[in-house]
Amino acid sequence: MLMSLGQFNFALKTTPFQQKQRNTDQRFASNNRIGQRAAHQHLGEGSDKITLSGALYPGTTGGQSSLDKLRDMADLGDPNIMVDGNGNIHGWWLIDSISETGTVFFQDGTPRKIDFSLSLTHTDKPDAT
């Protein structure tokens, strides 16, 4: 297993991502000053986003059903816990978007290759209500 997001496992047979990009922002307030640069105050963490991308080859790796499961999770709008393959917990993440591009089609229109991208945003732990 490469990683899990909630009950979904990213593995070679489901959705093996080939690239993981992370972008973490910080928040600052600025105050203009005469004759000097603006003064900045750190307000805390900003957005933290991960983009996973790769290619699926139905029959060898996962296919449309793997992406459909992720879409079902995204439709719920609930945060999911992320755990890497070493068992490290990375907190709660929301699925922002899923994109896919099918190419090299079989005669019935099924793609032999599906390039995908999954965007996630770090969020706080959900309330236990």
- What is the SS3 assignment for 97? strand
Question: In this structure, is the dihedral angle defined by the CA atoms of residues 88, 92, 96 and 98, taken in order, positive or negative?
Answer: positive
Please state, in angstroms and rounded to a whole number, the distance separating the CA atoms of residues 23 and 82.
Answer: 16
Please state, in angstroms and rounded to a whole number, the distance separating the CA atoms of residues 60 and 46.
Answer: 39
Q: In this model, does residue 6 exceed pLDDT 90?
A: yes
Distances (CA, A) of 80 to 7, 9, 12, 20, 105: 8, 12, 21, 17, 33
Q: What is the pLDDT of residue 34?
A: 96
Please state, in angstroms and rounded to a whole number, the distance separating the CA atoms of residues 122 and 84.
Answer: 15
The structural domains of the chain, ordered by start, are 3-123 (2.40.30)
Q: Which tens digit of pLDDT belongs to each residue from 54-102?
A: 999 988 888 899 999 999 999 999 999 999 999 999 999 999 999 999 9
Give the global pTM. 0.87
Concatenated DSSP letters for 6-36?
Answer: TTEEE-TTS---SEEEEEEEEEEEEEEETTE
